[in-house]
Amino acid sequence: MTLDEFLAAIAALDASSRARVEAADTPAALEAARTELVGRKSGRLTELMHALPGLPPDTRREAGAAVNRLKTALESALDDRRAALAAHAPAAPALDRTMPARREWRGAKHPVTLVVDEIVEIFRELAFTVATGPEAEHDWYNFGALNFPPEHPAMDLHDTLYLAKGALLRTHTSPVQVRTLQSYPPPIRILAPGNAFRRDFFDASHAPVFMQIEGMAVDEGVSFVDLKATLTHFATRFFGKTETRFRPSYFPFTEPSAEMDVRCTICGGSGCPACKGTGWMEILGSGMIHPAVLESAGVDSEKYTGWAFGMGPGRIADLRYGIPDIRFLYDSDVRFLEQFAT
């Protein structure tokens, strides 16, 4: 091939290729044109480039420059045409952005767990840690060590589910007090959440198993003022701005014993059926740990004093979430539990 023949071929390709590019009216047609003209394997321009080595050596430079000019021109024409096609292409259908999102199942802690976690969180700020004990308990830890007089009406308040002789299902979490006092030296600041059992038939407000949370602080000089202060602090953190009231009560394992009320969360204190018209709601039982309990656990009751409390997160969950019947807490209906997903 001579230089002239080569340049003629380039001119011919130049003319035909421009028409070919302009004629392409879809991206697919343009891609076909691109392959035909500049495709790496058998494009027409590529073929011309493969022909370069066959030209007389002194003409190759000129021929090469012509091929490169055409290549640049063709690529530019292809780009222009691609842009033109894109500009006129029908828009892809827009997303209907009102369509629902894809979701995963949401997990949830049990509402009683939520309440326990919240309580524990508040007490952790005051340096309490969580202690635990067994649910199947020795009679002695549940009653004897806690100063329950045998054959006394105080026992009637603890309708007990017994196992074997000397063994029972703990009726409260207070046995953890004794186990902890036996195991660790003061100062002690613990919370003990856990299940307690009573021989109560299942109804809207009673269950044979329920969550209780116990708290205890023991050190030299721990007083009733500390009890009031800590529990009032807790009540304010948990219920928001509220008033507390402490009034006498009786538990064999505390002396003095006190119940703590907060302003009724339903009526705010003006009196309603939920608070029996008193404007107050009973939240927890508490008291200074009875010296007999400290002595049972081998703690010097003259040197150390302490306070303790117990409350029922189940009842607080019912109050907080407006659950009308405690059986919902046990039924495990997924539609109920899903409501507490966070």
Partner 1 sequence: MNASHAWLASLLTVPLSAERMRELITAHCCTVDEMVRLRDDLSGVVIGRVVEAAHHPDSDHLWVTKVDAGGGALLDVVCGAPNVKAGGVYPFAPVGTTLPGGLVLERRKIRGALSNGMLCSARELRLSDDHEGILELETTAAPGTPLLDAIPLGDTRLVIDVTPNRPDLLSHAGLARELAAAVGARMRLPPVPGAPSLARAPAARADSEMQVGGVRVRLEDAEGCPRYMGAVMRGITVGPSPAWLAERIVAVGGRSINNVVDATNYVLHELGQPVHAFDAAKLGGSEIVVRRARAGETIVTLDGVSRTLNADTTAIADHNRAQAVGGVMGGAESEVTPQTTAIFIEVAHFDPVRVRRARRALNLSTDASYRFERHVDIELPPRALARVIEIVAAVAGGHVDGAPGDLYPAPHVPRTVSLRPARVATLLGDAVPQQEIVGLLTPLGFEVEARAGALEVTVPSWRPDVVREVDLVEEVARCRGYDTFSSELRPFRPGTVPESSLETVSRRVRDALVARGLLEARPLPFVKGADIGFVRVANPLSENEAHLRRDLLDTLARRAEYNLARMQRDVRLFEIGAVFLPSADTLPVEELRAALIVMGHRRPAHWTETRPPDFDEWDAKGLAVELASAAYPAAEIALESDADSDWLWSVIVDGTRRGGVRRVPLDAPVWAAPAYGVELTLLTVPSAFVAQPGAARYDATPAVATANHVQYRALPDTPAAEFDLALLVPNDLPAAHVEKVIRGASGELLEQVTLFDEYRGDAVPNGFRSLAWRLTFRHPERTLRDKEVAGRREKLLRTLEGELGVRQRTS
Q: Does 205 bind partner 1 (CB under 8 A)?
A: no
Instruction: Name the one residue in this structure whose structure tokens are 């321009």.
Output: 45
Q: Choose which of 53, 90, 93, 100 interacts with partner 1 (CB under 8 A).
A: 100
The answer to whether 275 contacts partner 1 (rule: CB under 8 A) is no
Query: In b/e form, how buried is each residue of 282-319, taking b as 16+ CB within 10 angstroms?
Result: bbbbbbbbbbebbebbebebeebbbbbbbbbbbbbbbb
Which residues on neighbouring strands pair with residue 254, listed in sequence order?
251, 289
212 scored as a contact of partner 1 (CB under 8 A): no
Q: What is 5-30 written as a DSSP string?
A: HHHHHHHHHHHHHHHHHHH--SHHHH
Residue from 81, 158, 290, 315 binding partner 1 (CB under 8 A): 290
Token pair 């602090």 is at which residue?
233
Nearest approach, Cβ of 322 to partner 1 (angstroms)?
18
**Distance, CA of 48 to CA of 50 (rounded, Å):** 5
Does position 224 bind partner 1 by CB under 8 A? yes
Residue 318, interface with partner 1 (CB under 8 A)? no
Considering the rule CB under 8 A, would residue 179 count as an interface residue with partner 1? yes
- Which one of 55, 67, 258, 316 is in contact with partner 1 (CB under 8 A)? 258
Contact letters for partner 1, residues 227-256 (x by CB under 8 A): -xxx-xx----------xxxxxxx----xx
By beta-carbon proximity to partner 1, the closer residue of 28 and 127 is 127
Q: Is 105 a binder of partner 1 (CB under 8 A)?
A: yes
- 268-271 long-range contacts (CB < 8 A, ≥24 apart) are 269/243
Between residue 58 and residue 87, which ones bind partner 1 under the rule CB under 8 A? none
**Binding positions for partner 1, 131-170, rule CB under 8 A:** 131-138, 140, 151-154, 156-157, 161-167, 169
- How far apart CA 272 and CA 276 sit, in angstroms, is 6
Is residue 39 at the binding interface for partner 1, with CB under 8 A as the rule? no
- Asked if 321 touches partner 1 (CB under 8 A), the answer is no
Q: Which of 78, 190, 284, 308 binds partner 1 (CB under 8 A)?
A: 190
Cis (ω within 30 of 0) for the bond into 256? yes
CA-nearest of 136, 142, 159, 162 to 253 is 142
